[in-house]
A = this chain, B = another copy of it.
């Protein structure tokens, strides 16, 4: 791949800090544009399915470049080296990756490992002086998340969470309309997030590695979506768990949870998180003067939806390409994302997850 440092685009940001959404089919109209020729050199930690997806998406990045890997599986490292042209000196395993500190050719590590490992790994990366991008959930509870935020602050590195939807143009189209008051006073958000999970032996169904079940993996999209769609932080949580298959979904691994959120304005949210239903990916936002509905709302493919004013028309993009280019801008140039993606944002989601699990346990309302 040739260098892309020659790409320089004008920065177009609206008064509310959102990129101006050009409702045309031109990608250039939307994308956060570039005020620096620098490129973020990224190592990916964890070469599983999602790591591969990110690596492939980064092939099209203008400001981020995959340059290194961290994996416990030598054969995977070999494959990635030849596929993505990664030099031997940028390859690490889980024992020796603290040495990344001495590698001047890596700026940041994208941690894409099981949730339960994020805390220790992120702190190790921070202590190695590298910026961290951490897949969500950033940790398995808010206390862990806060330790990670502190460690990164202490080390003077950025900590970003893999919120790809925070850069997705159609999501931003809706958020922008909401911020501009086009739906009027927001009253209700509904998020349905789930799918039928397969192989019962995967880490996502292992309490220690996953930190929970569907909520940690897919329910978090409805939590995070409730926050950016409503535009407020919830003040209370209620939740109800249902477990139909206690063999597949062991103690501490949630199968299906319905949860509700209340916001300071009086808006409410009603959400579903499940590993036991076919692909369910729907957002609905209802305001006094309008509505938005998205389906799919957070899947990897094209986001589709409409508002009371018509279909969503912002460009369809590869989420991770846009995310990584935007995160490069945040890390390299201090650019402001349309919706926060820092560690504090990740902790906010985890506090809600903690509250949901607590609400299930006490079978009542948890005040945030």
Which residues from chain A sit less than 8 Å from chain B, CB to CB?
187-188, 190, 192, 196, 238, 240, 242, 244, 256, 258, 260, 262, 266, 268, 270, 272, 274, 276-278, 280, 282, 284, 286, 288-289, 291, 363-365
Contact = CB atoms under 8 A, between A and B. Distances in A.
A280 B288 CA distance: 11
Taking each of A192, A266, A268, A272, which has the highest tally of chain B beta carbons within 10 Å of its own beta carbon?
A268
A94 to B, nearest CB: 38
A270 to B, nearest CB: 5
Contact of A286 (B238, B278, B284): B278
B266 A244 contact: yes
A242 to B, nearest CB: 5
A188 B240 contact: no
A187 B258 CA distance: 12
A130 to B, nearest CB: 43
Contacts of A276: 187
Given A238-B238, A262-B240, A286-B278, A190 B192 contact: yes
Given A188-B272, A277-B286, A278-B291, 11 more contacts: A190-B190, A190-B192, A190-B272, A240-B262, A242-B266, A256-B268, A258-B260, A260-B260, A270-B270, A278-B288, A364-B364
Contacts of A256: 187, 268
A359 to B, nearest CB: 10
Contacts of A240: 238, 260, 262, 268, 365
Nearest to A295: B293
B260 A268 contact: no
A274 B188 CA distance: 10
Given A260-B258, A270-B258, A277 B190 contact: no
18 contacts: A187-B256, A187-B277, A188-B274, A188-B280, A192-B284, A196-B288, A238-B240, A240-B262, A240-B268, A242-B262, A242-B266, A242-B268, A260-B260, A268-B272, A270-B272, A278-B289, A278-B291, A364-B364
Task: Rank and list the top 5 A-B pairs by shortest CB-CB distance, nearest first.
Answer: A244-B266, A187-B277, A258-B260, A258-B270, A242-B268
A276 B274 CA distance: 29
A288 B280 CA distance: 11
Contacts of A365: 240, 363
A144 to B, nearest CB: 29
A363 B238 CA distance: 9
Nearest to A244: B266
Taking each of A188, A289, A363, which has the highest tally of chain B beta carbons within 10 Å of its own beta carbon?
A188
Nearest to A245: B266
Contacts of A192: 188, 190, 284
A216 to B, nearest CB: 19
A263 B365 CA distance: 22
